[in-house]
Structure 1
């Protein structure tokens, strides 16, 4: 069986490799992200200084609350109120599907395009690939927008509803909130998500120019141009 080894180096195949790398980075950042919010109570029950930390890890259904040092309170866990899990899991799932589809597409490029007898199969697969690209652009857009919204909502909820309303409102005066730096990881994941939209959108062009419709149109245009010159 012949193999088209240079297929991954052509624009369409090379972009697939880049898309898979970006998808791997994006899903890894979301799956490994821990939302962390901290607040310092300067007068716990009027006398003590206390720091409270709230953390929520993927898939963001439980928030763990701890106190340092002990402020006459015990560490606890509670359910997060909000639809954060669905957006996070969709983002990670779509990144995983991108890896899976990218591997299959590259293998098809390498094996199918090397055999001239499979021309009708190749034409069909190119159309399927085009449809998949449109779907992937749309779904990456949905996943990225949802994750951008959810991470901001989760940050606000943990700060106001968990740390303040449930743990500090009745026991603490003069609270100082430390702006969490951990959310930078979530933001970077979203950047990779929007980058995926651009990459898949650009790759649509390289898929279109391989379709039989485009090749026929190009051939007719070329023939028409030669006829007009005569």
Structure 2
């Protein structure tokens, strides 16, 4: 508890308030929801097959299935309705193997969960190492881009697989394939359909993760500094700016009025005030000449 108080007091958790850390926290939470709603699913549906001979009928057939949705391995016993007193049952298998799409989706969600958790730890406790030599932001950018692409592929594949799973486990479709339901006098009906709201939620979280990881690319890219003008050096071979001459721009060495510089000469033969300056009396006044 003391360590947590010190971290809060020291501002270590300020990164959670910034877009980079806040989005990473959402990615961590949504990844949990994605693989939990898909990987923990188990469902069932019910059938009723009533044959012309009552002893053969089975009015409550329960079919259970779940993750990873290898439906071709799921079977149940159904009456054949052949008209015998003892009755006869046969194994009926469901159709389809959707384990590849389901396992791929869960695997991406687990890797995203682990990476988001690790990135949060780096942001909080190893921020200086993260920014050292700009390696951390570059690695983060590449990993975020790869996971965003994987979320796109896995979410689309899982959404298509879920649509096929719903069709393969629909009671009406399963009953249509039963040989006993095609016998004269047989009556078949579905008792209950599988509840797939949890699987629908997993697809929603898959595409939400896609939006989060894709949007977070911009904030991770900003951490690299590649987008700013300061991140680019001068072009190769550019001429250097000429240095200003010593003593100021356009001034000769020494400057005006300094030794070695330009000085006006009011001496002999030059233009300028006569010796003694303007406004002073001449040696012989004008009155004496008169």
Q: More strand by proportion, 1 or 2?
A: 1
Q: TM-score, normalised by structure 2?
A: 0.62
Residues 150-189 of structure 1 mapped to structure 2, 5 A cutoff? 150-159=161-170, 162-166=174-178, 168-170=180-182, 173-178=186-191, 180-189=193-202
The 1:72–1:206 alpha-carbon spacing in structure 2 relative to 1, beyond 3 Å, is farther
4+ residue segments displaced more than 4 Å? 71-78, 160-163, 217-220
Which structure 2 segments of 5+ residues have no match?
1-9, 79-85, 234-290
Change (3 A) 1:217 1:175: farther
* 2:200 counterpart of 1:192: no
Residue of structure 2 in register with 1:108 after alignment: 122
Question: How far 1:81 sits from its partner (Å)?
Answer: 4.3
**Equivalence map 1:66-215=2 (5 Å):** 81-114=95-128, 119-120=132-133, 123-159=134-170, 162-166=174-178, 168-170=180-182, 173-178=186-191, 180-215=193-228
CA contact 1:52–1:163 (8 Å) conserved in 2: no
What SS does structure 1 have at the residue aligned with 2:68? coil
The whole-number CA distance in structure 1 between the counterparts of 2:191 and 2:19 is 46
Give the deviation of 1:85 after TM superposition. 0.8
CA distance in 1 between counterparts of 2:129 and 2:66 reads: 48
**TM-score when normalising by structure 1:** 0.76
Q: CA offsets per residue over residues 91-123 of structure 1, 9 Å max, x none?
A: 11111101110111112212332469x531xx2
1 CA distance for matches of 2:90 and 2:38? 25
Count of paired positions: 211
Q: Which has the larger radius of gyration?
A: 2
Structure with the larger helix share: 1
SS at match of 2:168: helix
CA contact (8 A) 2:38 2:67 kept: yes
- Cα distance in 1 for residues equivalent to 2:186 and 2:92: 23
Query: How is 1:35-46 mapped onto 2 (pairs within 5 angstroms)?
Result: 35-41=43-49, 43-46=50-53
Distance in 1 separating the partners of 2:92 and 2:122: 48
Q: Distance in 2 between matches of 1:73 and 1:158?
A: 24
Matches within 5 A, 1:5-20: 5-20=13-28
Tell me, which stretches of 5 or more residues in structure 1 are unaligned?
Answer: 221-230
Which has the bigger relative contact order, CA under 8 A and spacing at least 6?
Answer: 1
Backbone CA RMSD of aligned residues: 3.2
